[in-house]
Amino acid sequence: MMIVGLTGSIAMGKSTAAQMFRDLGVPVNDADEVVHALYRGEAVAPVEAAFPGTARDGIIDRAELSRQLLATPERLRELEAIVHPLVRQKERAFLDGNIAAGAPFVVLDIPLLFETGAEARVDRVVVVSCAPDIQRERAMKRPGMTEEKFAMILARQVPDSQKRERADYVIDTSDTFDNTRQQVRAIVDDLTVNGAPDA
């Protein structure tokens, strides 16, 4: 089974592209969705222990966690050390399930694919990108987004130009949804025809 890594910087349209892969019948494991679930389950106790005051009614308050990390950004690695192993466990279960089901290829939606070295775990990399002005406009429309927070997120991410250089496929979402959908379909068609990864 081929493993395709899907990534892209903030507000590039990665979630939209991931849904388009799903719409075409490709199994997608969304790391962000996994984290959301963990913040309601296994990750609550260890995160609250490390970042007191972030758990409310048995759920991690992401806004409070974000506030604490903005105040002490050096502690981000501490959070990642708690969450990343749990995310990997869920990812492994997803892969095992799809191998058993005979899926020809799957997509791992990993926002920090290059930043965490996850490209070593995939056979192909798809980078979702768009023009910088469109990215900023989209990002600033998000609830709770500020210039400071946007700058902090960008500082954590490999620059878009470098991601594009390292990609096997690039999806540019600067244009219409239909245009993006055509690009996704072309990738799925190519993966279907060219099947197995190189030996």
Per residue in 48-81, pLDDT tens?
999 999 999 999 999 999 899 989 988 998 999 9
pLDDT computed for residue 190 by the predictor: 94
Pairing of strands 124-129, 2-7: parallel
Cβ 110 vs Cβ 31: under 8 Å: yes
Q: What is the mean pLDDT of residues 119-144?
A: 95
pLDDT band at 144 (very low <50, low <70, confident <90, very high): confident
pLDDT at 194 over 90: no
The torsion of the CA quartet 131, 174, 36, 49, rounded to 10 degrees, works out to 0
Domain count, the chain: 2
* Statement: residue 110 has pLDDT above 90: yes
In Å, what is the CA distance from 160 to each residue of 61, 84, 108? 29, 23, 19
**Residue 198 pLDDT exceeds 80:** no
Domain boundary among 70, 102, 134: 102
Last residue of a domain, one of 102, 123, 157: 102
Decide which of 72, 87, 102 is a domain's last residue: 102
* pTM for this predicted structure: 0.87
- Is 57 found in the same domain as 12? no
Q: Distance (Å, rounded) from C-alpha 182 to C-alpha 197?
A: 23
